[in-house]
Chain A
């Protein structure tokens, strides 16, 4: 029997994260992450399978601390990143939220995502896939201990960053 209250709480948390990204409220977004948070976007192998061992594989993104996420925001805010000076307007759709109790009191959650984006230079783009989370508790609030993003696309058209997926 699914824990309905927990599922609703997790869904609200994921919606909040998505909204903070859509509204570019990155400082509030960073607070959602634990200091030793993992943010992982696997690459696909030539055989078309996502890599399974992030430490020893090439990943699209593999960041193992909140400081690494802060670097991404710092770079965007330099104002000299050609890929980031005209950030796309983005809109996350989150669905198919699943939750289960994990080890060490963590909550294991999953959700499908679809990010629609529009920018002057690349027009309308869509990226879709599934998130996997491990959430810890800091007092009452969730903190993201682990977030894996698995896009369905094997070939990346253009580029994306931690704030636009």
Chain B
């Protein structure tokens, strides 16, 4: 494949999208061809909005998080004004990475190579032996200021950035997903904070194997049936009630549920909570019912929600609010970083109950995520079989509803597609339509 031609047909040919025949199939080459990853870095990660970090990690001026946009090292930092700045994480002199920590705090930025200095607003404040190198009195040091990220916007405490100055405004990119992100923050008057600790782990799979799993509740009963069985067993022998009880209705498929393709490659699915009273958010029921219209209050209190934002963010609210981002390290290797958000000022008992359930499910050392990770690696192995079938993602294609269904109207969103079956694959169809669109556009940074 000639990936430099930017011929739309090159990438469109990898996704067989025929709604009239009920067919949606994706070539396994998208998972196993290193040339595809190179094109994804350029045409997706470095051309689109990408999620960087929760703003709550940056509490005081000088607090920073260093991460990547595609292949390129970047960092975001809380500035003296309180605003968040974003910069390329490379010295403007000869490119040494300015920080090699994931996060920390600095009062100024000093390059460890030749000792150049920058303030946390990115201004070049010191060049070692400057007059020896540039004796001119009118030397303009500002040409060495750090290069800011072309675009940086924050929605509900989630920091997004883009290397492409021409991307649409963030809210336009997020579209109907904003309604879900608003709900994750519904327990106002409490702000959400990032709980101490993080989950950072690596998996031997293509990033899209991971991304495909997020909007795929179809796998849950198979892969997480053992978790549900373990929790049901525990509740039975211990007589657990209240905050100690674990919700299993969703995993067992006993509740109403549905999914959306909101557009732009994002996804959403939901399930009614069988036992909404066991969730920490239930403690804020009265406030939520007073502050939101009835339909949205129902969404906030009685439905678990799950969204992915193309290409690298997953947010869900099961026992707690979970934020996951991921970046490709290689065609068959992906790094995952996750955090837990919880309301500021929450009572310790509620907080602890929330966190223990979070750990049980989401840590790579818990009782669910290890099964996901093992499946990702197994799926990745199978996806090497380009000579076999393409991957089929057509479930529900012929019966899903274009536009909004009843629950979508309650939430006030207008998705591209709706389904009342969360084992459908309309979410993945939306993902790969956007994938083809971005890969074919070849917008590419620079």
Contacts of B112 on A, CB cut-off 8 Å?
Answer: none
- Residues of B near A101 (CB, < 8 A) are none
Point out the residues of chain A lying under 8 angstroms from B358, CB to CB: 58
Q: How far is the CA of A82 from the CA of B348 in the complex (A)?
A: 34
Which of A47-55, A110-118, A140-148 sits within the interface?
Answer: A47-55
Cross-chain contact B201 with A161 (CB below 8 angstroms): no
Contact A58–B371 (Cβ < 8 Å):
no
In the bound complex, how far is the Cα of B200 from the Cα of A165, in angstroms? 17
B65 contacts which chain A residues (CB < 8 A)?
A: 46
Complex Cα distance, B366 from A41, in Å, reads 11
**Size of interface on B: residues with Cβ below 8 Å to A:** 49
Give the A interface residue count (CB, 8 A). 40
Least CB separation from B352: chain A residue? A55
Mark out the residues of chain A between 46 and 86 whose CB falls within 8 Å of any chain B CB in the assembled complex: 46-48, 51, 53, 55-62, 67, 71-72, 74-75, 78, 80-84
> Are A156 and B200 also in contact (CB < 8 A) when A56-B351, A75-B230, A78-B230 are?
yes
Q: Which of B321-359 contact A (CB under 8 A)?
A: 335, 339-340, 348, 351-352, 355-356, 358-359
**Chain A residues within 8 Å of B178, by CB:** none
Q: Which residue of B225, B234, B369 is within 8 Å of A159 (Cβ)?
A: B369
Residues of B within 8 A of A45 (CB): 103, 196-198
Residues of B whose CB lies within 8 Å of any CB of A are 57, 65, 101-104, 195-204, 223, 225-227, 229-230, 233-234, 237-238, 335, 339-340, 348, 351-352, 355-356, 358-359, 363-367, 369-371, 373-375, 377-378
What are 21 A-to-B residue pairs whose CB atoms are below 8 Å?
A47-B103, A48-B101, A48-B102, A53-B196, A56-B355, A58-B196, A60-B199, A60-B359, A60-B363, A60-B365, A61-B366, A67-B237, A74-B230, A75-B227, A75-B367, A78-B230, A82-B370, A83-B371, A159-B370, A160-B365, A165-B365
The residues of A with any CB-CB pair to B shorter than 8 Å are 41-48, 51, 53, 55-62, 67, 71-72, 74-75, 78, 80-84, 121-122, 154-161, 165
